[in-house]
């Protein structure tokens, strides 16, 4: 094998160094800068994506904060509206209750007056019937005709005691 011949070692080492230097120069001039550009481009792209993600996260956080604030305001307005509606309904119910109580009180007073009138008429009717019955009973039992005013006075006294 000619590679192991010590007479050609110097030329082999020379060509090894020349080809190594040529390959090194080609890689250093063309390959490494291109790889560096690709790495920088990827780093920029990643950084841009991270920046955009951070901006979108900030926008999302702002939107969430705005949403939560709007929801809190809506809840507050709903609570106020509900409270106002409850108060209005309570006022309407109180007004209707007062009107019904007034009407019932009036009806009770009218009924009491009607009952008192009926009682008075019944008592007058009882007095009249009692007076006539007493007059007839006295006249049939004793055969005497008594004065109507005396019988009427005795019936009135008896009715006053019965009350």
Kindly state the tokens that stand for 37.
């550009």
Give the pLDDT confidence score for residue 163 in this predicted structure.
60
Tokens of 75: 């809840």
pLDDT digits (tens, 9 = 90+) for 101-142: 999 999 999 999 999 999 888 888 888 888 888 888 877 887
Q: Find, among 123, 133, 121, 118, the residue nearest to 156 by Cα.
A: 123
pLDDT score of 40:
96
Instruction: Count the residues in the chain.
Output: 163
Task: Retrieve residue 138's tokens.
Answer: 């006295």
Q: How far apart are CA 93 and CA 66, in angstroms?
A: 40
pLDDT digit string (tens) for the chain, length 163 residues: 677 888 888 999 999 999 999 999 999 999 999 999 999 999 999 999 999 999 999 999 999 999 999 999 999 999 999 999 999 999 999 999 999 999 999 999 999 999 999 988 888 888 888 888 888 887 788 777 777 777 788 777 877 776 6
Strands (E), 2-138: none
- The dihedral through the CA atoms of 19, 24, 26, 31 has a sign that is positive
């Amino acid at each position: 094998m000619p590679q192991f011949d010590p007479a050609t070692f110097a030329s082999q080492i020379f060509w090894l160094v020349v080809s190594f230097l040529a390959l090194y120069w080609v890689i250093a001039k063309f390959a490494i800068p291109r790889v560096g550009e690709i790495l920088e481009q990827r780093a920029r792209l990643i950084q841009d994506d991270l920046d955009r993600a951070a901006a979108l996260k900030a926008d999302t956080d702002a939107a969430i904060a705005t949403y939560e604030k709007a929801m809190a305001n809506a809840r507050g307005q709903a609570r106020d509206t509900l409270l106002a509606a409850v108060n209005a309904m309570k006022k309407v119910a109180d007004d209707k209750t007062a009107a019904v109580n007034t009407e019932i009180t009036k009806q009770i007073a009218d009924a009491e007056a009607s009952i008192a009138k009926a009682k008075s008429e019944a008592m007058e009717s009882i007095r009249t019937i009692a007076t006539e019955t007493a007059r007839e009973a006295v006249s049939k039992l004793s055969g005497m005709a008594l004065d109507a005013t005396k019988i009427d006075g005795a019936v009135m006294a008896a009715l006053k005691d019965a009350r």
